[in-house]
Amino acid sequence: MAQSEIDKVRTLLTSKPRPVGWPERRKRLDEIGSVWPVADDVKLEPVDITGLEGEWSIVPASDPSRVLLLFHGGGYCSGSIVSHRRMVTEAGRAARTRTLAIAYRLAPEHSFPAAYEDSVKAWHFLRECDVPASRIAIGGDSAGAGLVVGLISQLRDAHEELPACAWLVSPWTDLTLSGSTLATKDGVDPIIHKAYLNELVDVYLPAGVERNDPRVSPLYAEVSGFPPMLIQVGSAETLLDDAVRFARIAGAADVAVTLEIWPHMIHAWPLWNAQLEPGRRALASAGAFICAHVFSERVSLG
């Protein structure tokens, strides 16, 4: 069943060639990410974070005092609240939290550090809303996962309180593109290829910012003192080695890190959870991980 389901998603992803031009690419990702709408019981609410667009979501059984802050993927050049809405809202259901999705600024119109700055703005917005850091989980897929690591690094270096935990899906951790699976998985990954990643890096990084800068390539970041992390990656994606190497580095730095490698799954497969049973199971696993950390106060008092 799972194999036939992932084959249907592969067909969706490869049914049209990759568009030319950033507006067309963004439109295409919004289309394929929103093929399946959000569930009927999801309540959505837009929010203006001093000029930064965000969206709250919650389902009836979730605790509004706990928040999952999420940054979408798309190579820092595409992706949106729309493209990731189904994944975000179902992640919140699994974690029993409210979610806050962020429409951070995109390259090439806004190169680094625009998205990086927006992630910090979103965090401070939550804290100014009197949400304790211990009740916030942060997550992201692909490039969004890179923003998660960059945000935690900045908070730690500023001696601010850190989130309870972090959730990384198919993380893009190495903008130098040195991962071995960029070559060995190229034939089975339907969407992420080295030439495409090079194109993204070229427009995301301005002159003077090196590809191994730890602010953009988490693989080269100092991660000691990080909160517990869950990393989920598919075995059929070219960024597999980015996830495995980052998990190894985090573990060597005494960070509590859990690495899940999902057989036959492709890049950011939880996006298609409405169609894909392993996508739903991945979200359930992430939800259990997040619950264990953002509800720890309640457990310790109860």
Name the burial class of residue 50, with classes exposed (0-12), middle (13-18) and buried (19+) by CB atoms within 10 angstroms of its CB. Answer: exposed
Catalytic residue among 80, 153, 170, 267, which?
A: 267
The one catalytic residue among 57, 111, 217, 237:
237
Tokens of 18: 């990759």
Q: What's the full length of the chain, in residues?
A: 302
249: Cβ contacts below 8 Å, ≥ 6 apart: 219, 223
Give catalytic status of residue 267 as yes or no.
yes
- Residue 47: C-alpha distances to residues 1, 100, 217 (Å): 39, 9, 29
Question: How far apart (Å, rounded) are the C-alpha atoms in residues 86 and 30?
Answer: 11
The residue annotated as part of the active site, out of 111, 142, 153, 217, is 142
Q: Which of 118, 70, 143, 28 is nearest to 290 (CA)?
A: 70
Q: Which residues are catalytic?
A: 142, 237, 267
